[in-house]
A and B are shown apart, each in its own frame.
Chain A
Amino acid sequence: MGSEPIERRVAYIGDRLKGSKCPFCGKEYFRTRKYCGDCGRKSLGKMIDIDFFYEKGVLETCTVVREPTNRFTRFGAYVYGIISFHNGRVRVPGRLTDMIIGSDKSVDLDSLEGREVVPRFRRRHSVDKSDIIPTISLAFTFADEYYPYQPYEIVKPSKEYDAPGIVGYGVYVSKFRIREGAMERSVPFIDEDAITAAVEAGKIALIHSGVDHKLIGKVYVGSESNPYAVNPIASKVAQVLKLGEEEKAEGVQGIDAVDTEFACKAATSMFKDAMALVCYPKDPMDYAMVIGADNAQAAPRGEPGGELDFFVGFGGAAFIFGMKDVIAEVEGWYSCTSDTPDFWRRDLEPYPRHGGRFTGEPAYFKHIIKAGRKLMEKLNLKPSDIDYFVCHQPNPAFPARAAATLGFKPEQYMPGLQVSKFGNTYSGSSPIGLAAILDQAEPHKRIMIVSYGSGAGSDAYLFITTEQIKEKRSRQKFTVKYQAENKFIEYVDYATYRKFKEGL
């Protein structure tokens, strides 16, 4: 049995790596404190809040743990050591994550010590299935490997737009993949889940946009793989990313945070809500964030629902909407919905079921084509007026066929087609495709995105890129292409993939 108050306190400090700095002598601490030990009473109440969430540290000393304590056994072997920040002003214990160390594999500690590391928000350790999931950012990866160090700098907006649109975005896909035939799919490390992916995507979106985290008024997290049946992902995202104005005395964030669920369109559905909020006439918000993140679950092959096991991926995408420094303005939207249960998961069931009867024609194609056509009609556009097209990607064949049916050519839909790299990332699927397009689109290009969510419905949007899309690219090292073609990608076998997906 865990203790909820202890979990809350450890996560409150540990997720963000909060600390304090003395305004007089500059001494820094991990974990917040009320006064400086050297300066004493004059510093009481004057300590400056700091945190190491966006910082780069150095792995000073380390060793390999091969016989972890009980709650860490599912990690297998891992590197554990001392990490310093700010030239050794602060030192913390830490575990290296995203690293598979076989029981027969030796680790050259000399080659690891002294390297730069980035803190990563992850699950802390195993707990009972009914307990609160503990998290922490005392997990680290090397700054020069798969996940690059990117500083978070708040940029003052320079331009206001007439229509709302995308201000910044972030995509997070894990370092591990399973490769079967021509298809690669992203696999979470054992300490990752939909919550950690949502936080990562949101973090990268903040870095890319340069938006002040305090100015985000609402965050939506769409997912169908929240490890909790009840308890939002969005509240964790808001707390870790410090979204909205922080009310320090109570430890609350001045933001509305909510989870949404509609299979794979749980996130795209909220794009219009987010855009409406930032131009709401009476009391507009500066920014709203929408995240789609999934650790898509599938029954083992051969079992009912096991056919999904060939396609499920892991990852997420986050979009920040606003009226200032927009990189892609919205032109219009259209959604359609019908009661078509083609994919579902009953409460308490571990894996979703897939109704073969509805899949394809009466579900996926019907809704996507309807939404796409209707939006073009609405805005009086032909496929040739649109530069890029992206739709939901449950497998490589469906989106290509849907695009062709709508009249799009491969050069229009290929840039957004990412399923053969990452698998079906569910709520993150079409948003990751959209991000891939934004990564490369020139200004003044028209992009259409059509999502699909089982159950069933589609959301279609049209965006036009602005001049500002180019100036923000320097803050986006972690592009979709970078994650798809990274030399640090590690391929795992089927058994490892199943184990990692199941998690701690």
Chain B
Amino acid sequence: MKEPVAIIGVGRTRFGEHYELDPEDLIDEAGLMALDSAGLERKDLDACYISDYLLQVTNKIGLEEGFISQLLEMNIPIEKMRSFSSALMNACNAIEAGRYDIVLVGGMEKMTDRWSKIRDNLMLLVDHWSYYAGGTPESIHELLLREYIKEYNIRGDDRQKLMEVLAKISVKNHRNAVFNEYAHFRREIDVKRVFAAREEERRLLGLYDFAPISDGATAIILASLKKAKEYANDAVYIISSSMATDYISYPSRPYRTGFIASKIAMENALKMAKISLHDIKLLEVYDQSTVLEMISLEDLGFVKKGEAWAKLYESFENFSGFYYLDGKQIFVNTNGGLKADGNPLGATGGAQIFEVVKQLKGEAGQRQIKSDGDLTYGCVQEIEGFGTKVYVHILGREKGGK
């Protein structure tokens, strides 16, 4: 990046079912919290970038910009994107370009308002031809797992270990969410329960392998470097903002044992931040399924392709909150991930940023991680669709590497 962008405030709602609230109520709550934590008035905002996937479908509303304008009682530029990370990236671009100094990035989703139709809409969004062929939002993750098993010829005991690793990812994320007051699920589960759900449903992956359908909103306040000094002296900086795309049709992609877009986005992000992968000890990955947490560790480069299951298996043998990969500590999804924190699509990326900011600032309370050495950098991976768009943002207490 030409110049880092400062995060001077963060806010979010609880994720889960908000039966009584409209989407604008949710974004209002998250936005106020973010403004409050930045010590700003809404009149200080130069622009807003907001995100949601499906409000047009779930709530039959469009023109979200108008709702935000009315809430703020302001006429500033407001644009709507799909994922939180896409809004964040566009906000960063604008700040870097010198157009704005203070920007609110907010995400919201109200998926439970149209619970009965949401899976059809999600699958159509992922790839309409796969939908026409009978695909479901869950089955596509199972196909990825099958591709992985096939490519790396994982059989017999190894296969069992892999399935155990996936279960333990879910268990770990549920445990992390216990101390997350905003999480959708704040209860521990055990490996037996993950396996029991798979068996009961007679599926490869079961209920506890997948992120839930949630409502929620998140917001952060960004500031240009020169403005940041006026408001905060302990800001966290966005030192890279990167994304890559891939074909809408997963079957037609040449690379199907992971997401090539993750790999590309991460490589570019590291270059942009001028840091090495090993400088990152904190990672929020888009674990829409337990498979995606495992695969993402490979795609992002933390472990070699085809080895994550074995390395994670070792990590889980004496697990104390972090994976041990390539001789390095890596804390993953400390807020509980999408699995337990929840997954209100347009707001999800905001919760990932929220967590990394809290951890980097040492404000994560009971879930604050204790890493060997300084905790300087954190990384957020957000995915749109099934690997169709991957965003990587690297956050740092410092304004980037050398």
Interface residues of A (CB under 8 A from B): 10, 14, 29-31, 60-72, 75, 78, 80-83, 90-95, 103-106, 109, 113, 124-125, 134, 136, 138-139
CA distance A124 to B146 in the complex (A): 25
> Across the interface, do A63 and B146 meet the contact criterion of CB distance under 8 Å?
yes
> Across the interface, do B134 and A78 meet the contact criterion of CB distance under 8 Å?
yes
Per-position binary interface string of chain B over residues 89-124, scored 1 when its CB falls under 8 Å from any chain A CB and 0 otherwise: 000000000000000000000000000110110010
Interface CB pairs A-B, < 8 A, 25:
A10-B132, A14-B132, A31-B129, A60-B150, A62-B143, A63-B146, A64-B204, A65-B134, A65-B139, A66-B201, A66-B203, A67-B138, A68-B136, A82-B143, A82-B147, A92-B129, A93-B249, A94-B133, A103-B202, A104-B202, A125-B132, A136-B132, A138-B129, A138-B132, A139-B133
> Across the interface, do A109 and B146 meet the contact criterion of CB distance under 8 Å?
yes
> Across the interface, do A61 and B133 meet the contact criterion of CB distance under 8 Å?
no
Question: Which residues from chain B contact A109 at a C-beta distance below 8 Å?
Answer: 146, 204
CA distance A80 to B134 in the complex (A): 7
CA distance A75 to B139 in the complex (A): 15
Which residues 311-352 in B have Cβ within 8 Å of A in the complex?
none
B123's nearest neighbour on chain A, judged by CB, is A69
B142 within 8 A of A: yes
> Across the interface, do B143 and A71 meet the contact criterion of CB distance under 8 Å?
no
Per-position binary interface string of chain B over residues 231-269, scored 1 when its CB falls under 8 Å from any chain A CB and 0 otherwise: 000000000000000000111100010000000000000
> Across the interface, do B134 and A68 meet the contact criterion of CB distance under 8 Å?
yes
Known contacts A82-B143, A93-B127, A113-B150; decide if A69 and B252 are in contact (CB<8 Å). no
> Across the interface, do A80 and B129 meet the contact criterion of CB distance under 8 Å?
no
Question: Which residues from chain B contact A69 at a C-beta distance below 8 Å?
Answer: 119-120, 123, 131, 136
> Across the interface, do A106 and B202 meet the contact criterion of CB distance under 8 Å?
yes
> Across the interface, do A80 and B150 meet the contact criterion of CB distance under 8 Å?
no
CA distance A125 to B250 in the complex (A): 21
Question: Which residues from chain A contact B58 at a C-beta distance below 8 Å?
Answer: none
> Across the interface, do B134 and A113 meet the contact criterion of CB distance under 8 Å?
no
B385 within 8 A of A: no
CA distance A310 to B143 in the complex (A): 43
Question: Which residues from chain A contact B301 at a C-beta distance below 8 Å?
Answer: none
CA distance A275 to B221 in the complex (A): 79
CA distance A104 to B119 in the complex (A): 24
> Across the interface, do B202 and A30 meet the contact criterion of CB distance under 8 Å?
no
Question: Which residues from chain A contact B129 at a C-beta distance below 8 Å?
Answer: 14, 31, 92-93, 138
CA distance A63 to B252 in the complex (A): 17
CA distance A90 to B247 in the complex (A): 14
CA distance A282 to B374 in the complex (A): 93
Question: Which residues from chain A contact B249 at a C-beta distance below 8 Å?
Answer: 93
Question: Which residues from chain B contact A92 at a C-beta distance below 8 Å?
Answer: 129, 133, 251-252
CA distance A59 to B142 in the complex (A): 15
A91's nearest neighbour on chain B, judged by CB, is B251
> Across the interface, do A124 and B132 meet the contact criterion of CB distance under 8 Å?
yes
Known contacts A68-B134, A90-B252, A92-B252; decide if A80 and B146 are in contact (CB<8 Å). no
> Across the interface, do A61 and B147 meet the contact criterion of CB distance under 8 Å?
yes
Question: Which residues from chain B contact A64 at a C-beta distance below 8 Å?
Answer: 202-204
A240 CB to closest chain B CB, in angstroms? Answer: 16
CA distance A103 to B120 in the complex (A): 22
Known contacts A61-B146, A70-B119; decide if A95 and B204 are in contact (CB<8 Å). no
Please list the 6 inter-chain residue pairs (A to B) with the smallest Cβ-Cβ separation, ordered nearest first: A95-B134, A63-B142, A93-B133, A138-B133, A61-B146, A91-B251
B130 within 8 A of A: yes
A72's nearest neighbour on chain B, judged by CB, is B134
B306 within 8 A of A: no
> Across the interface, do A70 and B117 meet the contact criterion of CB distance under 8 Å?
yes
> Across the interface, do B119 and A82 meet the contact criterion of CB distance under 8 Å?
no
Question: Which residues from chain A contact B119 at a C-beta distance below 8 Å?
Answer: 69-70
Question: Which residues from chain A contact B134 at a C-beta distance below 8 Å?
Answer: 65, 68, 72, 75, 78, 80, 93-95, 125, 138
B120's nearest neighbour on chain A, judged by CB, is A69
> Across the interface, do B252 and A61 meet the contact criterion of CB distance under 8 Å?
no
Question: Which residues from chain B contact A31 at a C-beta distance below 8 Å?
Answer: 129
Question: Which residues from chain A contact B136 at a C-beta distance below 8 Å?
Answer: 65, 67-69, 72, 80
Known contacts A62-B143, A65-B139; decide if A136 and B133 are in contact (CB<8 Å). yes
A329 CB to closest chain B CB, in angstroms? Answer: 45
Known: A61-B150, A91-B251. 8 other contacts (CB 8 A): A63-B146, A65-B135, A69-B119, A69-B120, A70-B116, A92-B252, A94-B133, A125-B134
A187 CB to closest chain B CB, in angstroms? Answer: 21
Which residues 200-250 in B have Cβ within 8 Å of A in the complex?
201-204, 249-250
Which residues 117-174 in B have Cβ within 8 Å of A in the complex?
117, 119-120, 123, 127, 129-136, 138-139, 142-143, 146-147, 150
Known contacts A69-B120, A69-B123, A70-B119; decide if A80 and B139 are in contact (CB<8 Å). yes
CA distance A91 to B251 in the complex (A): 5
Question: Which residues from chain A contact B142 at a C-beta distance below 8 Å?
Answer: 63
CA distance A66 to B150 in the complex (A): 22
Most B C-beta atoms less than 10 A away, residue of A72, A75, A95, A136 = A72
> Across the interface, do A81 and B143 meet the contact criterion of CB distance under 8 Å?
yes
A469 CB to closest chain B CB, in angstroms? Answer: 40
A94's nearest neighbour on chain B, judged by CB, is B133
CA distance A30 to B132 in the complex (A): 14
A31 CB to closest chain B CB, in angstroms? Answer: 8
Question: Which residues from chain B contact A62 at a C-beta distance below 8 Å?
Answer: 143, 146
Question: Which residues from chain A contact B130 at a C-beta distance below 8 Å?
Answer: 93
Most A C-beta atoms less than 10 A away, residue of B120, B135, B136, B150 = B135
> Across the interface, do B138 and A30 meet the contact criterion of CB distance under 8 Å?
no
Question: Which residues from chain A contact B132 at a C-beta distance below 8 Å?
Answer: 10, 14, 124-125, 134, 136, 138
Most A C-beta atoms less than 10 A away, residue of B117, B134, B203 = B134
Question: Which residues from chain A contact B131 at a C-beta distance below 8 Å?
Answer: 69
CA distance A109 to B145 in the complex (A): 12
B119 CB to closest chain A CB, in angstroms? Answer: 5
A97's nearest neighbour on chain B, judged by CB, is B134
> Across the interface, do A93 and B204 meet the contact criterion of CB distance under 8 Å?
no
B121 CB to closest chain A CB, in angstroms? Answer: 9
Question: Which residues from chain A contact B203 at a C-beta distance below 8 Å?
Answer: 63-64, 66
> Across the interface, do A93 and B251 meet the contact criterion of CB distance under 8 Å?
yes
B205's nearest neighbour on chain A, judged by CB, is A63
> Across the interface, do B201 and A80 meet the contact criterion of CB distance under 8 Å?
no
B122 CB to closest chain A CB, in angstroms? Answer: 9
> Across the interface, do B133 and A80 meet the contact criterion of CB distance under 8 Å?
yes
CA distance A145 to B32 in the complex (A): 63
Question: Which residues from chain B contact A95 at a C-beta distance below 8 Å?
Answer: 133-134
B327 CB to closest chain A CB, in angstroms? Answer: 33
CA distance A342 to B168 in the complex (A): 69
Q: Contacting B252 at CB < 8 Å: which of A30, A94, A134?
A: A30
Question: Which residues from chain B contact A138 at a C-beta distance below 8 Å?
Answer: 129, 132-134
CA distance A192 to B150 in the complex (A): 33
Question: Which residues from chain A contact B201 at a C-beta distance below 8 Å?
Answer: 66-67
Question: Which residues from chain A contact B251 at a C-beta distance below 8 Å?
Answer: 82-83, 91-93
Known contacts A66-B203, A69-B119; decide if A113 and B146 are in contact (CB<8 Å). yes
Question: Which residues from chain B contact A61 at a C-beta distance below 8 Å?
Answer: 143, 146-147, 150
Known contacts A62-B146, A91-B252; decide if A80 and B120 are in contact (CB<8 Å). no
A59 CB to closest chain B CB, in angstroms? Answer: 11
Question: Which residues from chain B contact A75 at a C-beta distance below 8 Å?
Answer: 134
Question: Which residues from chain B contact A103 at a C-beta distance below 8 Å?
Answer: 202
B137's nearest neighbour on chain A, judged by CB, is A69
Question: Which residues from chain B contact A82 at a C-beta distance below 8 Å?
Answer: 143, 147, 250-251, 256
Most B C-beta atoms less than 10 A away, residue of A63, A82, A92 = A63
